[in-house]
Structure 1
Amino acid sequence: MKKLEKQFWRRYKLLCLVRVLLVFLPQTGYIHPDEYCQSIEILAGDTFDLDSNRPWEFNITFPVRSISIPYFTVGLSYKILKTIDIFVQPWLEKSIITPYVLLVIPRLFICLSSFLCDYCMYHTCVANNEKYKSRLLILSTSYIMLIYGSRTFSNTLEITFFSLLLYFVSESMIFSNVIVKHHEYFKRRYDNSETVVDKAKFHKMSLLLAPHSYRRFYIISTIVVLGFFNRPTFLCYALIPVFFWLYRSIGSKSITPLQFHSRSIVILLAAIPIVACLILIDSFYYGYLTWGEVGMLEVSIENFIVPCFNFIRYNWNEKNLEKHGKHPLYLHFFVNVPLLFNILGIFALFGFGDLLRKLLKRKYHLLPTVRSIKGLMTASMITPLFLLSSFSHQEPRFIIPIIFPLVYLYGHKIYDEPDHSIVETKDVKNDINKFRKVNKKSTIPFKLWLIANAVLAIFYGFIHQGGIYPAYNYLAKEVNVHPNTQYNIFTSHIYSIPYSMLLQPKPDKLFYSRTSKYHKTKRVFLYEEGSKDLEAVLQKINAVSQVLESKRVRNKILYIVPSSLDKNINAIRVNHTQISVKKVTTFYPHLSTEAMPDITDFIHKVAYIDMKSLNFGELLMSLCDIFKSFGLSVYAIDAVS
């Protein structure tokens, strides 16, 4: 057993190392623009005085996102980086602030915080006498932890908050169950005692029991508040754990229903200090409250802002949600769960079906109870799914926090810890019986799990929009090499390029020389054309080029587009004689779902080719064209004189 224990911890530590190393590679995959927009763009701009595209969520007039949590995660990592840069810059004679560093440092911070999820899983299993090895192994091999676990999404922090909340609630439930059992035992012995001495002894023993009714109340309240300010939808996740904490041991002889109400009051009162603190941070950040107003005691209710309530008001309007994409209500259950959790998600769907079957057949005694950890995890998995499915806008990342209860409930079904059986075998040659250990557990689900997560990790970690990171890295170097040139960068059929990564100073930033102070004019302009027709994009580029030429501005125009559209560009650029279009470089790998590579030619050749006239050269060329289309092309546009 010791050998198996050591083997497990070696594997687990290796997986932890892989999670950290993936941060430093770095992962070039780009899952969603919010990864940059809701954290890096804001705080890189604020911390390093870089020009950035502030998203609408952080609009001062109607902010719907709290700055508090991003500030203490991404912002804190940037503050540390800025301090290091101040001391290191004189030695190196250059700044260490590069696109790579701006990307990796906050990811490292988020990645390290994701290990709290592993910590909570281990201690929850140990406290409840569950096998922890299989669950830790499934958790650490999930691409959710390997890829999402190091990204600067608010959803990633939501995983951590949800895991901590479930851990502290389950620990409180287990502790309360033990104390209540001891209390009832002492009460029974007290009632059955015949002498005063015995009664006094058991009464004294019951008084020595640790208090449990308000256990961890401040920590639980703080986690709920932080989770709410991080993402208001966290209330969907916190609802069940908080209810289970309030309902602990209710129904036993020593706990009255009044305890439920007293616990509710205590947990609400405990939330007041942290809520007030976070509201103050947001009010100061968005300019609703200033130190001058505080000093003059000119503070009113209008000086405070709660972005989370604005978030709820905004998303409560169905028309606002439709702007971001309207999805069928079943999407989370039947598409996003299998997509995110693959085999684990399939086990969960079958498990949910089994619960429904027992419920319909009125086999209530077979359902998880409200006093059990299994009941807590089951309800914490199902309830958020139902609540979030009631909204028409459903993205997969919205439900990644349920990985914690999913792994706890079904992780052992994918990889069950070795359970060796002793079997007797006959050695015919020596006419003796031998005994050997046999592990009868199937490894097929675990192998499928590893393959599925490896494929998804590669896709979302390195291929999906994977050319954007090397592209903005290239642009940052290009722009800084030519400080007197205006750059006009057009993009289409790709996600937005984070402007802060181009390392351009804010237009209002003051620079000082020996004799004066001055501003630097904005010289890098981004034109995001979405999925517009290429003809329309080139027409706009042509128009911008003519304007710049007429003003005699020293400029450079670049057009960044998926390589799958190279043939289309080559076909239509002949219609634009006033500009020359020349490919500068290509970054691999890159896949834009907005412009999928065309494989119809290859399929046609394979499907209809005559084996006698098979030309491997043509097939190889067609295959090479497909591989080349998995890239991101950078074109230089010049005016033809």
Structure 2
Amino acid sequence: MTSGVTYWVIKCLQQLDVWSSCINSYTLLVSPRLFFTIFSFILDYSVYRLAPFWEADPWKALVLLAGSHVTLVFYTRTFTNTLEGLLFALLMVLVSSRRSDGSLAEPTSSHLIVIVTVAGFFNRPTFLAFALMPLLYWVGLNIDSQKSIKIVINHFLKLVPCACFTAIFFITADTLYFTSMGLDNLYSVEKNSLFDIIAQLNQKIVVTPLNFLRYNLNPHNLAEHGSHPRVTHFMVNGIMLFGILHILAIGAGFKMLKKCIYILPQVKSYYHGSSRILVHSEGNPILLSFYFVPLAFLSLFSHQEPRFLIPLILPLVLFSTSQNRAIKWKPVIIIFNVLGALLFGCLHQGGLIPCLFHLEQLMHSPESSNHPGHYILLFAHTYMPPRSLLNIKKRDTHIEVIDMAGSEEETLCQTVGQQTNNFTCNDCHFFVIIPGTVRATITKCGVSFKNETLIFPHLSMEDPPQISFLFSENWRSQLGLYILQLDRDQQSL
């Protein structure tokens, strides 16, 4: 759902002999990012629409959003978290409505709300954590003292077919994409019995949310990507992404908890159309719940990366611009976002994309095309490398990519040793890609390398350099990504 549409367009242009000579790692990188940059204006539209509803100034909210390094860096990248944030923004727009006289109105786009929710769930099941409070808010608007429980239940039951149809659409799309099942397979099952058809579908059907949950609920799988304390999102990632805005929200949240006894009796009147608690002297409880409830749910998982929180920028911007909370912190916000853009836009995993460009040019050079060899690319302690940027086609079986994630030293050396012993041909090329902070680990594996390429800058937050090394002569190596090519003589041993 992130890069697939763009790649499909590129593939069609290539088949039509249009722009076929320009297909390389650069266009494969820029095209999806350009597509997402255009779609990121959904976030701007959502802020502009939602700001008056939540008693915030639209233009101040847009300036705060546009100046955030989260918008500049993450919302122009092809992360599923980015799409999750855009769908979350659309959901907030759909559940927030107001009549011309200023009173709250019941949302009329119920089917769109269901479609967006199901789409978000199939994109990332964690979307339910973000959608929980907006959906409860929407349910509250549908519950009225003049409506009986039966009417309310019937209203929601009418939405079940829409949810099922949307789910079937995504299941079908995923099954066709991830398996070999096509129209020919569908026509061939007509001759089989009903039980045979069900058995075949059961074997090939792909339900991506179930696969996502099955993988991420396994602690061993999460440990391979790195385990973090449960408070990492609250104490570290929130500050790294949002800075003083996160701190202001925490302060307002604590003040609001002290006054929750006085707020709770007003909730009933709030759902019946009164807007007097939309803006409270200490903040907006509904907006804060949109921010902290997803934060709490995501903190239940041991693997916590900053990008998991990027959808929360929308309620945080709306909250910060209501009552002009962020105005007096303007210099701090500007400096913070400049530093954040440098950290996440340039330093953090910054060498991975240039590394893939280098390897793609190496493997698809005219010399390599005339004399193709076997390439093994082993990545360790980096983000999962996007294989699409290597421009690997289905027929390129001579290229193998191994992702070791955050493997321990023993596992890494064992894998390197096994690959070294398995490939003894003269046309075999074995590359190990690791951050500079892990370079010493490879030395302990007992292998030698004939070529070393250092790509600068590159910072791995999972393996950060020690402060003392940054003031030494080899500081560049600590902030770099190494491409190590195994010595051919070593391969033949």
Query: Which TM-score bucket, shorter chain as reference?
Result: 0.7 to 0.9
8 Å contact kept, 1:490–1:559: yes
Q: Which residue of 2 aligns with 1:345?
A: 246
The structural deviation recorded for 1:294 is 5.8
Q: Which residue of 2 aligns with 1:330?
A: 231
2:119 aligned with 1:226: yes
Letter in 1 for 2:334: L
Q: Which residue of 2 aligns with 1:145?
A: 71
Task: Tell me which of 239, 255, 269 is aligned to 1:354.
Answer: 255
Q: Deviations over 1:529-584 (max 9, x none)?
A: 556788997897677667655x5x23444443334566787x879x76xx5x3445
Partner Cα distance (1:639, 1:451) in 2: 49
Q: Which residue of 2 aligns with 1:501?
A: 389
Letter in 2 for 1:261: I
2:127 aligned with 1:278: no
Task: Tell me which of 420, 431, 434 is aligned to 1:561.
Answer: 434
The 5 Å alignment of 1:357-368 reads: 357-359=258-260, 362=262, 364=264
SS of equivalent to 2:482: strand
Partner Cα distance (1:560, 1:314) in 2: 25
The 5 Å alignment of 1:431-450 reads: 442=328, 445-450=329-334
Which stretch shifts more, 151-160 or 380-389? 380-389
SS of equivalent to 1:505: coil
SS of equivalent to 2:40: helix
Partner Cα distance (1:213, 1:258) in 2: 18
Partner Cα distance (1:568, 1:239) in 2: 44
Task: Tell me which of 387, 393, 399 is aligned to 1:524.
Answer: 399
Task: Tell me which of 222, 244, 248 is aligned to 2:137.
Answer: 244
Q: Which residue of 1 aligns with 2:281?
A: none
Partner Cα distance (1:137, 1:293) in 2: 57
2:5 aligned with 1:76: yes
2:187 aligned with 1:292: yes
Which stretch shifts more, 238-247 or 591-600? 591-600
Partner Cα distance (1:595, 1:327) in 2: 13
8 Å contact kept, 1:222–1:271: yes
The 5 Å alignment of 1:40-439 reads: 70=1, 73-89=2-18, 95-127=21-53, 130-171=56-97, 174-175=98-99, 215-248=108-141, 250-251=143-144, 255=147, 258-285=150-177, 286=179, 290-292=185-187, 295-296=190-191, 298=193, 302=199, 303=201, 305=205, 306-312=207-213, 315=216, 325-359=226-260, 362=262, 364=264, 369-370=270-271, 371=273, 372=275, 374-412=284-322
The structural deviation recorded for 1:165 is 0.8
Letter in 2 for 1:499: R
Partner Cα distance (2:415, 2:221) in 1: 30
2:457 aligned with 1:589: yes
The structural deviation recorded for 1:353 is 0.5
SS of equivalent to 1:561: strand
Q: Deviations over 1:494-541 (max 9, x none)?
A: 3443333322332xx4xxxxxxxxxx6x33344555567889978976
SS of equivalent to 2:364: helix
Q: Which residue of 2 aligns with 1:203?
A: none
Partner Cα distance (2:364, 2:290) in 1: 50
Q: Deviations over 1:431-463 (max 9, x none)?
A: xxxxxxxxxx63xx1111121122122111111
The structural deviation recorded for 1:135 is 1.0
2:349 aligned with 1:470: no
8 Å contact kept, 2:91–2:116: yes
8 Å contact kept, 1:155–1:401: yes
SS of equivalent to 1:487: strand
Letter in 2 for 1:220: I
The structural deviation recorded for 1:149 is 0.7
8 Å contact kept, 2:28–2:388: no
Partner Cα distance (2:11, 2:355) in 1: 24
The structural deviation recorded for 1:376 is 3.9
SS of equivalent to 2:159: helix
Partner Cα distance (1:129, 1:76) in 2: 37
Mark the structure with the bigger radius of gyration.
Answer: 1
SS of equivalent to 2:243: helix
8 Å contact kept, 1:562–1:633: yes
Q: Which residue of 1 aligns with 2:479?
A: 630
Partner Cα distance (1:540, 1:250) in 2: 59
8 Å contact kept, 2:241–2:306: yes
Letter in 2 for 1:383: V
The structural deviation recorded for 1:139 is 1.2
Partner Cα distance (2:406, 2:118) in 1: 39
8 Å contact kept, 1:490–1:558: yes
Partner Cα distance (1:403, 1:246) in 2: 23
Taking a change above 3 Å as real, the CA distance of residues 329 and 536 of structure 1, as seen in their structure-2 partners, is: closer
Partner Cα distance (1:287, 1:352) in 2: 51
The structural deviation recorded for 1:366 is 7.6
The structural deviation recorded for 1:412 is 4.5
SS of equivalent to 1:270: helix
The structural deviation recorded for 1:410 is 1.6
Partner Cα distance (2:255, 2:121) in 1: 32
Taking a change above 3 Å as real, the CA distance of residues 321 and 175 of structure 1, as seen in their structure-2 partners, is: farther
Taking a change above 3 Å as real, the CA distance of residues 636 and 247 of structure 1, as seen in their structure-2 partners, is: closer
How many residues align structurally? 467
Partner Cα distance (1:322, 1:528) in 2: 14
Partner Cα distance (2:21, 2:253) in 1: 54
SS of equivalent to 1:586: strand
Partner Cα distance (1:282, 1:529) in 2: 26
8 Å contact kept, 2:469–2:475: no
- Unpaired runs of 5+ in structure 1? 1-69, 181-211, 417-440, 510-519, 604-621
8 Å contact kept, 2:106–2:142: no
Taking a change above 3 Å as real, the CA distance of residues 278 and 298 of structure 1, as seen in their structure-2 partners, is: farther
Identity over aligned pairs, percent: 30
Q: Deviations over 1:468-500 (max 9, x none)?
A: 211111111111222323334444443443333
Taking a change above 3 Å as real, the CA distance of residues 317 and 469 of structure 1, as seen in their structure-2 partners, is: closer
SS of equivalent to 2:331: helix
Taking a change above 3 Å as real, the CA distance of residues 333 and 488 of structure 1, as seen in their structure-2 partners, is: closer
Letter in 2 for 1:266: K
Taking a change above 3 Å as real, the CA distance of residues 268 and 473 of structure 1, as seen in their structure-2 partners, is: same
- Unpaired runs of 5+ in structure 2? 279-283
Which stretch shifts more, 129-138 or 285-294? 285-294
Partner Cα distance (2:408, 2:163) in 1: 52
Taking a change above 3 Å as real, the CA distance of residues 261 and 471 of structure 1, as seen in their structure-2 partners, is: same
Letter in 2 for 1:78: Y
Q: Which residue of 2 aligns with 1:461?
A: 345
Taking a change above 3 Å as real, the CA distance of residues 536 and 295 of structure 1, as seen in their structure-2 partners, is: closer
Partner Cα distance (1:534, 1:178) in 2: 62
Taking a change above 3 Å as real, the CA distance of residues 288 and 259 of structure 1, as seen in their structure-2 partners, is: same
Partner Cα distance (2:245, 2:348) in 1: 23
Q: Deviations over 1:212-254 (max 9, x none)?
A: 76611111111111111112222222222222223227446x5
SS of equivalent to 2:119: helix
Taking a change above 3 Å as real, the CA distance of residues 386 and 491 of structure 1, as seen in their structure-2 partners, is: closer
